[in-house]
Amino acid sequence: MSCIIEMRDVSFWAQGRRRVRDFSFPFEEGKTTALIGPSGSGKSTVLKLAAGLIPPNEGEVLFRGRDIARMSRQENLSFRREAAVVFQDSALWENQNLFQMLELPLRMHFPAMSKIEREERIESVVSEVGYKKDLGIRPAGLSMGEQKLLAFARALMCRPGLLYLDEWTESLDNNAAQRLINMVKNLKNKGASIIMVSHDIQIIRDLADIVVMILGGQIFLRLTKEQIDGDEDLGRYIERGMAT
């Protein structure tokens, strides 16, 4: 098993409470891992820790064996170029218009890319996610669903090999959600490593190779797709556990 992200004995406190407790898990390269559990179980916090967005109070998070918290600036930049996050609340930058927001990752990670190349990349990705409005407006002019499409486009701008998805189909209609699901399937088929949080059992059945149920900031169950698909009772148990 090749491991792309490994969490070792990770604990995290926020607002005086331990949100994640002694969490250890190797995320396999080229696999899709779904983090599931009821609201408040800690799954989004685990995803942010795995992405290096928040540092653990205890333990370490490794990217291909390197502790993210101890990386040099150049190592961290390389990690950020390969990894991308779609946040649950989209987290678009309000002080920039949409084109500037999409262009920034290309400017940062591919400084030799020409203006025309950047424009072509942006046009291609925006078309792929299905966004059709003006890119000269700011995020405040978008619906929640449109914000999610742009957040997804931003995440794909540098063609990441490691993708973190937090409730990434929320606020989308069925057609838009299916478009993004198909895009993730395509990335998965090309060998991308995906760590996702979702409440949608069908998305989990369609995409996940490994399912980790989190309760109280700890691993409660670790299952493979084959185990869930092969046991209807287990599938229903998982679905109930995500909702309670």
Residue 118 contacts residue 99 (beta carbons within 8 Å): no
pLDDT at 16: 85
Please report the sign of the dihedral spanned by the C-alpha atoms of residue 111, residue 30, residue 152, residue 197.
Answer: negative
Express each pLDDT in 180-227 by its tens digit: 999 999 999 999 999 999 888 889 888 999 999 999 999 998 988 888
pTM over 0.85: yes
pLDDT at 127: 95
Q: State the chain's mean pLDDT as an integer.
A: 92
How many Å apart are CA 146 and CA 93, to the nearest integer? Answer: 14
CA angle 220, 168, 40 (to 5 degrees): 40
Kindly give, in sequence order, each residue whose CB lies less than 8 Å from that of residue 244, ignoring residues fewer than 6 positions away: 38
Residue 154 contacts residue 107 (beta carbons within 8 Å): no
Residue 81 contacts residue 158 (beta carbons within 8 Å): yes
58-63 and 3-14 strand pairing? antiparallel
210-215 and 193-197 strand pairing? unpaired
pLDDT at 171: 83
Q: Show the tokens assigned to 128.
A: 């792929």
pLDDT at 243: 58
Q: Which amino acid is at 51?
A: A
Phi, psi at 42, each rounded to 5°: 110, 5
Express each pLDDT in 16-29 by its tens digit: 889 999 999 999 99
Decide if pLDDT at 106 tops 90.
yes
How many Å apart are CA 239 and CA 235, to the nearest integer? Answer: 6
Helix (H, G, I), strand (E, B) or coil at 41: coil
CATH of the domain at 19: 3.40.50.300
How many Å apart are CA 244 and CA 239, to the nearest integer? Answer: 9
- Structural domain including 52 reads 3-243
Read off the pLDDT band of 242 (50, 70, 90).
low
Q: How many domains is the chain built from?
A: 1
Express each pLDDT in 149-170 by its tens digit: 999 999 999 999 999 999 999 8
Express each pLDDT in 28-64 by its tens digit: 999 999 999 888 889 999 999 999 999 999 999 999 9
